[in-house]
Chains A and B, each alone.
Chain A
Amino acid sequence: MPSVSEGSHATAARLAPKVPINETRSMASEKETPVRFQISDLNFFYGPKQAIFGLNLIIPVNKVTALIGPSGCGKSTFLRTLNRMNEIIRNTRVEGNILLDGQDIHGMDVVNLRRRVGMVFQRPNPFPKSIYENVAYGLRINGYKGRLDELVESSLHRAALWDEVKDYLHKSAFALSGGQQQRLCIARALAVNPEVLLLDEPCSALDPVTTAKIEELMFHLKDSCTMAIVTHNMQQAARASDFTAFMLDGKLIEHSETSKLFTTPKDPRTEAYITGRFG
């Protein structure tokens, strides 16, 4: 797997902020892993149509959790409930509990929630601004008054993009290739120092080489950032995640450590999906 320059990751590691964790326990098994998100009895409706049925899931801290399942199973919908992005759509309804570090996300200010829980989308969507301004955007609107330059640089390091753009920070973001734009979007999301990063099929529009780069940066990001990634690509889930959740028709079928789910799935439907019998 081609690797981004060592220097970039060392710098990223050096600059990676420490994020407070609620509980410090040894990570022996799934049950004892400290939890960032706790979702219980989640039901979701688009108007009269129900899309998610009684979903219960935990998303452990500083791990990558993959969400897999056939098209239309509700994984993207579910991901978007975690940062309340579905509220932008009219006529949607959420039932059940979603707790971030023990706090109900529907009770907290949504602007603040979205700062703590960042999102990267399926297609890169940089703003029509310069590379610098894209990364600085989240900081500016949150009123950050400190030294933007440093934070922009560190975010670009964490997204493994710094070396490629450091001399062109004031060029338009559209001058970058698709893969670079996606990494820019990751840098943009990281700039506000989120505790969680949600990735909605981030590599589906990208080539294998770029995909590999992004998977590698995810690996290095884990230490400082919990991640949940929706993916169609089972190999990617198997490679890049610690835990995997399999969804079907809006329900959570199985959730366990990735290695276990892919080698010894408990549910026959999981096995059918991962062996390619449908989806």
Chain B
Amino acid sequence: MMDPRIMWRRALNYVMLTLTGIAALGVVSVLFFILGYLIWNGGKSLNWNFFTQLPKPVGETGGGMANAILGSLKLLMLAALMGLPVGLLAGVYLAEFGGKTFSFVVRYTTDLLNGVPSIVIGIFAYSLVVLPVKHFSALAGGVALGIMVIPITVRSTEEFLKAVPGSLREGAMALGASKWKTIVTVVLPAAKAGILTGMLLALARVAGETAPLLFTAFGNRFWSPGFGQPTASLPVMIYTYAIAPYDDWHRQAWAAGLVLLGLVLVANLGARLLLNRGGAVRSV
């Protein structure tokens, strides 16, 4: 006859462990649910027009988000141009040159910047770029996104540079390479894969950001040539259309959501698979 207390403990064990499994599977199924729903709802509305046409005037049905797609690409390009070099070089500093206290301050500040809510960064870009000229612009949006790119890039650059074995550096220096030559000709190439995927992930992250664009790039129902005008972007369009009272706009918001999520997930998947498979040091 089994001690009832042991039976109780066994039952509790079984129940709790099952619950944890349910929890984990529940969380994962949310992901699949999101994907599925988006594919279902968004896929219905996705058509050639979506990618090629401009938005129609308010109230009319049809039209597309061509300008938003182009706008997002423009903003990403600006963010990459401004943020990636800063992140890369600062990462090189931390991994290769850094003194103890200064490096600590830089790392701490970078982590701080990483934790700043994206809307606050939007306020910052607003005060830097929009206020002085009193109009919204793609440049302001690019600045906001560029700032967000920096901490992610710094961290991954530093991490992958540090992963390059010291024996490689020693080998180069023993041949007479100066420190910077060693970095440029041996260390950076060895860490290339990791650093590039880090950059890709950073860009994928900011591609989906909406809040910092709300009052920097703002939005536009037409094309916005150059970088000095308010610019439409995919995330902001989704937001604008989703909260509007028009069914047709809701339909388009789903389509845009599918496109955006698709791009972000593909970039993330690709980057993570590359990282898991190749590792940091590859033959260049």
Contact = CB atoms under 8 A, between A and B. Distances in A.
B31 interface: no
Interface stretch (B104-112, B133-141, B176-184): B176-184
A252 B181 CA distance: 36
Contacts of A141: 172, 175-177, 181, 185
A115 B173 CA distance: 10
A185 B176 contact: no
B190 A128 contact: yes
A138 B175 CA distance: 6
B174 A114 contact: yes
Interface residues of A, number: 30
A125 B167 contact: yes
Contacts of B176: 111-115, 138, 141-142, 192
Interface stretch (B144-152, B261-269, B276-284): B276-284
B260 interface: no
Interface string B157-170: 00000000101111
B188 to A, nearest CB: 11
Point out which of B167, B170, B189, B283 has the most chain A C-beta atoms below 10 A from its C-beta: B283
B85 interface: no
Contacts of B167: 121, 123, 125
Contacts of B283: 128-130, 172-174
A36 interface: no
Contacts of B189: 128-129
Interface in B243-282: 281-282
A111 B178 contact: yes
- Per CB-CB distance, the 9 closest pairs between chain A and chain B, nearest first, are A172-B283, A125-B167, A138-B175, A119-B174, A114-B176, A115-B176, A125-B171, A128-B283, A111-B176
Interface of A: 83, 85, 88, 111-115, 118-119, 121, 123, 125-130, 137-138, 140-142, 172-174, 185, 188-189, 192
